[in-house]
Amino acid sequence: MTVKHWLALGLALTAQSAFAACGADEGVCETPSGEYHIELPDEENPPLVVFLHGYGGSGAGTMRNRGMVDPLLDRGYAVMAPEGALRNGRKSWNFYPGWEGRDETAFLTEVVEDAADRFGIDSDRVVLGGFSAGGFMVNYLACAAPETFSAYVPVSGGFWRPHPEACEGPIRMFHTHGWTDNVVPLEGRILGGGRFHQGDIFAGLEIWRVANECPDTKPTGFSTTDQFMRRKWANCAEGSALEFALFPGGHSVPTGWADMMVDWYEGLPGS
């Protein structure tokens, strides 16, 4: 075997090792601020869905949700699950304004840049999603720095009271919530003996309509997709998108969410 062939083989093995070190079954990728899991589709330069776990969950646990991960991979999307930082002994996200801890916007930007360098994901087509506490994180990040990601797709998480007075915009958001969710009810609930109060999901949608400069509170369209009842607000600021999907279940990432979300995202201009 020539030197050229040995060099090619060595590069191939290095690439395989880099992928294995970050595969969901083999370990995590490490960055200066934290860790993440990632799985890649067969396509080169794929778009990426970053999905944040709930309170007390983990990135590894997110990757075990094959009902969500596999449909995204099948649609040609890479899937990343970062690890939250420890808060009161459990992993979560530093989403509430004024809390001390990791700068999550900087961390999530860091892991996306790392994945772009390692695996060639398309850093211009990155969707940020999250469940429960991860969904709260998505909303607060989108509120403060809407340009960070291409679109935002929270599940079962909004804002806490007092709601933000205003958010930056415009944004592209697809919010999904369960009708019978009693962990993050649509109306919110009191936590920590009164120290915290989850916000009202519909009040949050009002904040996003204002950020998107929507001319009316009335939705411009109603539709259904399988179990999901959907409403959207169009004719708002250029480049914006806002849609809400309600499903009959409780506190979960519902079956069918991944394909519905990708269909929505790929229907947006420029996606």
Residue 6 pLDDT: 37
Tens-place pLDDT, residues 56-98: 999 999 999 999 999 999 999 999 999 999 988 899 999 999 8
pTM above 0.95, yes or no: no
pLDDT at 7 over 90: no
Hey, what domains does the chain have and what are their CATH numbers? 36-266 (3.40.50.1820)
Residue whose C-alpha is closest to residue 171's, from 233, 248, 82: 233
Q: Which residues contact 26 (CB under 8 A, 6 or more apart)?
A: 20
Cα distance between residue 19 and residue 65, in whole Å? 20
Going by C-beta distance under 8 Å and a sequence separation of 6 or more, which residues neighbour residue 224? 230
Residue 36 has pLDDT above 80, yes or no: yes
In angstroms, the CA 99 to CA 193 distance is: 18
pLDDT score of 107 more than 80: yes
- Spell out the residues 6+ positions from residue 91 whose beta carbon is closer than 8 angstroms to its own: 53, 55, 56, 57, 58, 83, 84, 85
Smallest Cα–Cα separation from 154: which of 189, 201, 219? 201
6 vs 241: which has the higher pLDDT = 241
Local structure of residue 110 (DSSP, 8 states): H
Coil/strand/helix, residue 155: strand
Amino acid at 43: E
On average, the pLDDT of the chain sits at 91
Any bridge partners for residue 29, and if so which? 36
Is the CB of residue 247 less than 8 Å from the CB of residue 176?
yes
Please tell me the distance from the alpha carbon of residue 114 to that of residue 117, in angstroms, as a whole number. 5
